[in-house]
Structure 1
Amino acid sequence: MAMLLLCTAFSISAGLAALGFVLAGSGQHPAVLALGCFTFSISGFFLFACYKINLLRDQLQQSETRKRYLDQLLQHSGSALILVNRDMKIEYLNRLHESLLRLDPDPNEWINNAKRWPEVISEEAHASINQNLLQGRPWKGELQLSFRDRHEFVKASITPIMDDAGQLDKVIVCYDDISEQKAMTNRLFIREHYNVLTGLPNRQYIIRDLEKQIETLKDAEGRFFLLHVDLDRVRYINETLGHSVLDRVFRETADRLRACVREEYLLAHLGSDEFMVMLSNDVCADEATILAEGILERIRQPFYIDNHEINITTSIGVSQYPDNGDDAATLMRRAEAAMFEAKNGGGNRFCFYQTGMSGFVERRLEIENQLRHAIERDEFKLHYQPVVDLQNNQLRGVEVLLRWHNNELRNPRPDTFIKIAEESGLIVDIGSWVLERACQQIMEWRNSGLPELSVAVNISARQFIEGDIVERVASALKRSGLPAHQLELEITEGLLINDAPTIREIFSALKNLGVRVSLDDFGTGYASLSYLKRYPFDVLKIDRSFVHDINESEDSVTLVNAIIAMAHSFNMKVIAEGVENLQQRRILRERQCDMVQGYLYSPPLNADNFADWVKRYSDIHQAQHV
């Protein structure tokens, strides 16, 4: 159109110029001359108009080009851009930007609903933005946009444009959709600060909150309690029923703890069988006691998983801020020390921290560290206690007992270091060493002329499951040359707390090797009488706790008599432990107990002293003085 107008103007201008030139040059009459000059002027005007039209056309083309380029530039901007006037009407937006499309595929919705934008952000954020804009200051930050069916996150910069009077005229909104980055950050945070199995906050999370709580109360007089909750005997579940069942126990434990713990308390899963509860500020000791008792009661209830009834208990340690520590690490360590005190008292109880308890935890760690090097340092020694036949007083065998000679720790007692060895997993290698050394010793005595003896070796539940016990027993027999029937493996009732096919398979494999299996400390653990029928035990050992007062208590006599009769009905031999006087021996003999061991005959002796004792006992027995 502009080109057509330009051509027309140029043609008219050229025609008028020619006419004016003819009139001005051919006529002498003034009017004709004036007409010619006027015509010529008109042609000049048209020529000027042609120039201006051409210039305007160029400017329009350049303006359209710049506008197109600017629009393309804004459309491909790194951020979504929106220009809003004071009436909340959108004057511009780069409607094809991916951040804009992600929030709403139809950009027209943003135009139609601009006045409703404040509805999708929090009141606090809306107030902060308004305050900045009205004062002519930009606002920058992250916003959560809450839609009907989802939440989105944007990083926004909102800049006001003021008019000459200093009033808000327009607003430029520049934002980027950071929903994916936020989701990834949240996933990483959850992975780092929450336990994947139970969904509870983990150790790092509770340490962080502990530090915040302490910082808040540092200059105040507030106090709070920390509970360390540790399940008892869970290793038996793992060893008999496997990790999958144990994981379900942990998940159900988390659910039970949630039901006990108030919403304002923090419940965390430290890992494995350990949980922690941080009570809120100004909770009194009575409330902490009530919570601990409630947790004990809730955990005592049976767990029913895959047709298994699982019964466990828990031990709880309680520490208090600031009396027991003014930093997170100390409070957690002392709550753990109190928990160990509860566990050492038999479990299924709770203890408040008292001065000196933390020393036990530190000593426990030192014992574990020293245990790791005990075999290579040759610190373990085996002691042997004789087992005597009650009917003819003949020496039948020995029970092997482990002693640890460590001067730095002042020779820890077996009931201390063996428990730590089991909990840390070190018992697998230690037990294997005991097994091999005991078999070798029996063969050395046999070669030196001592009578043929059976040897009983204690096998822990963890060693039984995790230590490839069948292969290790076979190796010990082969390396020593000891006949299989002379080896007796003693296990405790704790192994049988959860009956499982794996346990029965291992029993069958051991029986196929030809070794004997005995049930140690019968009556003190968790075994049911049905296990005596289900498992091929050869020997049942009566715990010393039933024997020590047998000469004074009729109830003890009745109980021992029942145990002996039951074992014999299953074709098991019976050994009574802890026999210390002749009256106890007489009662056991009258009740048809098969064998005994205890201080009446001899305390546990090292290898050399035991060999001397055997020779003396043989001489006495032959002389019929016993």
Structure 2
Amino acid sequence: MIALVITGVIYTLVAYGTMNLPYPDGSIATIWYPNALAICLLLTRPAREWPLHLAALALANLTAGLAAGGSFSRVVLYIPGNLIEILLGAALLRRFTDLRESVSRAEGMLSSLLLGCLVPSAIGAMLSALIFYSAQKADIGSTWTSLFGSSAIGGVAVLPLGLLCLTRGIPAFTSLLRQPQSLLAIAVTLAISSWAPAYIPYPFVFVTASLALIAIIGRFPAVAVALPICSILVGIQLGYNSSAWSSMPRELQDVLIYMPLVLTLLPPVLLATSLERLMLTAEALSDEKETAEVTLHSIGDGVITTDPQGHITYLNPVAEAMLGWPLKEARGCRFDQVVRISDQRNGRVLPDAVTRCRIARESSEVMDNLILHSRDGLEYGIRDSVSPIHAPSGTLLGTVTVIKDVTETRQLASKMLRLAHHDDLTDLPNRVLYQDRLLQACQHGERHKQRFAVMFLDIDHFKKVNDSLGHATGDELLKLVAQRLTATLRESDTISRLGGDEFVILLDGIGCAEAAGELAGKVIEALAKPYTLLDTELMITASLGIALYPDDGRDPSTLMKHADAAMYRAKRDGRNGFHLFSRSADDAAIARLKLENDMRRAIPEGEFILHYQPVIDAVTRKVCSVEALVRWDRGEQGIIRPDLFIPVAEESGLIIPLGQQLLEEACAQLQRWRGTALEGVRIAVNASTVQLREKAFAETLSELLKRYDICGDQLELEITESTLMTDSERMLDTLKGIRALGLGISVDDFGTGYSSLSYLKRFPVSTVKVDRSFVRDMEEDHSDRELIRAILAMSRSLDLKVIAEGVETEGQATILTEMGCPCLQGYLFAKPTDADTLLEQAASMYAGDGSNWII
């Protein structure tokens, strides 16, 4: 509603003022501004509001006409033509023109004046002429000419200012109008316009000239403001000097009035729009230049431009710093005088930028491996590209060279390459580089029939160094080992650290096994000398394995595998020595590896089973407990004894999952025996030292007891004497935790190891088992009987239960019983058998005498 009121009020005031500029004969206004103003007002509103605004404009037109003294019957005749002109002008401008182009391009302004002014004025004037002819029999031609000329001139005078306000807003051009030169130009123009005599047509040229001056000095906004004021002043002159026109025909009056006005106002408008376009283009170019300079100053690459002759025209700050040339000194100098770039690979100096562009015809490819030589003597590793600068016509305007400082990148790449091929700790070649050199050695040996050797080295018991002195000390020891190896071996040999405490050496030009052995001896001797670490003298030994090319292999993989196998043989033979690879030893290693792989498959597939052998009370001959003995059921290959696979399981670590599986099976079997003749029996399960070293071993046992609802006293763990002596403090804590769960602990094969009475007293042992080697010959060997007697006496004093293993004859059983041995185990009573068979034996014995087989 407010917009409607504003539109109506503005139209009324402008129309009323315009009506005071009468045509010389007093019939119509000389120049009609309101319609052009109304078009601009409509363009500020959405099209859906136009009908209401047109209604407000009709009321405003009527109000202004009546206020100016016109009769109602005559004023209403103007309204339809004015409304059609307003509606048509607004619609054509919105539909067919780009308003921003109209204030910056001459053709855009012409299009806007044609569609927003001339065409609507012509149509509106024709409609009004027809209405006046119909109502008052007025002459159509003279009426149309007067109305069209009045409205068209008003549009030419007002529309540029309205379009400027619509496209840029009032603040955009008021800042230009505040400039002194613009205000002065407008004042001169207005003075000239007010002095131009109306009866002499030619003085209008002075108005045009002054408007052109405004266009040059004050640009388009000043012209847009001056146009309506000039037209008003001219209109006033025409209206108040009507005596000179009274005797002229109406058609001549129209020509003498409107033609000079059109020629006065239109050229400055077009000139102003053209100049505005140029100025905007210049400003845009200036902004782009400033943006380009800011960009070039801020980027991290050096930028160098030249003219077509190859003379420097621009350096950005990065280029100045890298070249050592300030721009003011470099400008105008030849490119090759300022910029010197060479190829890092061959030292060849590159040609200047223009020559490179001519060679490449277009942009040259990005070139790497380049060195930029600074004026200050510095050198930069760079990557550069050169591109020509062409005009739209294809003419070469110059070149642009971009140089990127990659000095740090190359240094980092070099460092990364070294890290990728060298051990970070010892700086020796790593596995990747060693494999490459070994492959080259194989290829060279194949071509030239030359021999060499591969030596695999492992430090003995290196883990103990880490565990006792810490990993930092272990790392320092590895560095010293690397230094001794480098000092001992030849420069032609390649020494590599594979990881941990493993080293591998490529011995070049070794013709025979004796030469390789001689070098291995020197290495062992060098490494055996004392090391001083943390004020502590440390001595180590090493085990070495040697494979010869081509005897022991013709490819890197085979040579490495055979050298590794030889090294492990050296370890098995007591360490601190070396072994040459042999096929028989390799066959054994392959068989062991196959066995290990078969075990890995067999564990999850449940091929390992438990057989049970009862332990008998020596007096009652009833079962005290049973021992669970593992067997490997390999199907067609039959049952495999534990002494064939347990050592491999312990060395490979497979004893951990295997032992876990067997303990779980023993607990499950106790659960299955509930309600049978074997209910309540105790099962003894062998436990490896490797298992007992596991931190969570006691927790695992506790979880199994809970899961199967088993009392701790139904399980017993059998360990060896050597287990007690392994990391005794840690083992003591583990065994105490196991005893706290209620489990018994028995020492198997007692008497064959090195345990002492102090160990039996210190550790929570509940049972000792006399080794079968003492029982086997006790009937004939007096010393064996005395040893057994001593073990029994010692056990009684320590309150330990004793089980004699390997009882196979009744004589052995009788002697042991007479000695007071409480429990016996052996083939005399039962062989190890599966759980079902053992249960059948127990059930039959229970049925035979009516008493339980279990004590």
TM (norm. structure 1) is 0.60
> Out of 489, 496, 510, which is 1:263 matched to?
489
Residue aligned with 1:338, SS: helix
Q: Cα 1:587–1:277, aligned 2, differ >3 Å: closer, same or farther?
A: farther
Alignment of 1:283-322 (within 5 A): 284-289=512-517, 316-322=544-550
Residue of structure 1 equivalent to 2:413: 185
**Deviating more after overlay: 375-384 vs 599-608:** 599-608
Residue aligned with 1:447, SS: coil
Q: Give yes or no for the alignment of 1:76 onto 2:318.
A: yes
Give the drift of 1:325: 0.4
Inter-partner Cα distance in structure 2 for 1:522 and 1:254? 45
Given residue 414 of structure 1, which amino acid in structure 2 is its aligned partner?
A: P
Inter-partner Cα distance in structure 1 for 2:623 and 2:533? 47
Inter-partner Cα distance in structure 1 for 2:601 and 2:435? 32
Give the drift of 1:222: 3.1
> Out of 590, 605, 618, which is 1:377 matched to?
605
Q: Cα 1:601–1:323, aligned 2, differ >3 Å: closer, same or farther?
A: farther
Given residue 434 of structure 2, which amino acid in structure 1 is its aligned partner?
A: I
Inter-partner Cα distance in structure 1 for 2:743 and 2:589? 39
Residue of structure 1 equivalent to 2:448: 220
Residue of structure 2 equivalent to 1:427: 655
Contact 1:81 1:175 in 2 (8 A): no
1:408-457 Cα distance to aligned partner (Å, 9 max, x none): 87765534443444444443332222112112323434531137432121
Q: Give yes or no for the alignment of 1:278 onto 2:520.
A: no
Residue aligned with 1:77, SS: helix
Residue of structure 1 equivalent to 2:736: 508
1:221-257 Cα distance to aligned partner (Å, 9 max, x none): 432333334567888x69xx96985785576467457
Residue of structure 1 equivalent to 2:665: 437
Residue of structure 2 equivalent to 1:353: 581
Give the drift of 1:515: 1.0
Q: Give yes or no for the alignment of 1:535 onto 2:760.
A: no
Contact 1:82 1:93 in 2 (8 A): no
Alignment of 1:350-499 (within 5 A): 350-389=578-617, 394-407=622-635, 413-445=641-673, 447-450=675-678, 452-466=680-694, 468-492=696-720, 499=727
Q: Across the two proteins, how many residue pairs are aligned to each other? A: 493
Give the drift of 1:500: 7.0
Q: Give yes or no for the alignment of 1:209 onto 2:428.
A: no
Inter-partner Cα distance in structure 1 for 2:496 and 2:507? 12
Q: Cα 1:513–1:560, aligned 2, differ >3 Å: closer, same or farther?
A: same
Larger radius of gyration: 2
Inter-partner Cα distance in structure 2 for 1:576 and 1:184? 71
Contact 1:576 1:595 in 2 (8 A): yes
Q: Cα 1:437–1:305, aligned 2, differ >3 Å: closer, same or farther?
A: farther
Contact 2:383 2:406 in 1 (8 A): no
Give the drift of 1:383: 1.3
**Deviating more after overlay: 212-221 vs 293-302:** 293-302
Unaligned runs of 5+ in 1: 1-64, 84-90, 101-124, 133-139, 144-151, 158-173
Give the drift of 1:489: 1.8
Residue of structure 1 equivalent to 2:554: 326
Give the drift of 1:330: 0.6
Given residue 473 of structure 1, which amino acid in structure 2 is its aligned partner?
A: L
Q: Cα 1:195–1:483, aligned 2, differ >3 Å: closer, same or farther?
A: farther
Contact 2:485 2:495 in 1 (8 A): no
Given residue 580 of structure 2, which amino acid in structure 1 is its aligned partner?
A: F
Given residue 468 of structure 1, which amino acid in structure 2 is its aligned partner?
A: A
Q: Which has the higher helix share?
A: 2
Q: Give yes or no for the alignment of 1:335 onto 2:563.
A: yes
Residue aligned with 1:279, SS: strand
Residue of structure 2 equivalent to 1:48: none
Superposition CA RMSD, Å: 5.7
Give the drift of 1:323: 0.3
Give the drift of 1:484: 0.8
1:134-173 Cα distance to aligned partner (Å, 9 max, x none): xxxxxx9699xxxxxxxx995799xxxxxxxxxxxxxxxx
Give the drift of 1:334: 1.8
Inter-partner Cα distance in structure 2 for 1:422 and 1:510? 21
Q: Cα 1:231–1:418, aligned 2, differ >3 Å: closer, same or farther?
A: farther
Q: Cα 1:354–1:593, aligned 2, differ >3 Å: closer, same or farther?
A: farther
1:82-138 Cα distance to aligned partner (Å, 9 max, x none): 89xxxxxxx9999999x99xxxxxxxxxxxxxxxxxxxxxxxx99x86999xxxxxx
Residue aligned with 2:447, SS: coil
Select the structure with the greater relative contact order (CA < 8 A; seq sep ≥ 6).
1
Inter-partner Cα distance in structure 2 for 1:535 and 1:73? 85
Give the drift of 1:258: 5.7
Residue of structure 2 equivalent to 1:44: none
Contact 2:677 2:842 in 1 (8 A): no
Contact 2:775 2:806 in 1 (8 A): yes
Contact 1:245 1:305 in 2 (8 A): no
Inter-partner Cα distance in structure 2 for 1:460 and 1:130? 71
**Deviating more after overlay: 593-602 vs 294-303:** 294-303
Inter-partner Cα distance in structure 2 for 1:477 and 1:198? 50
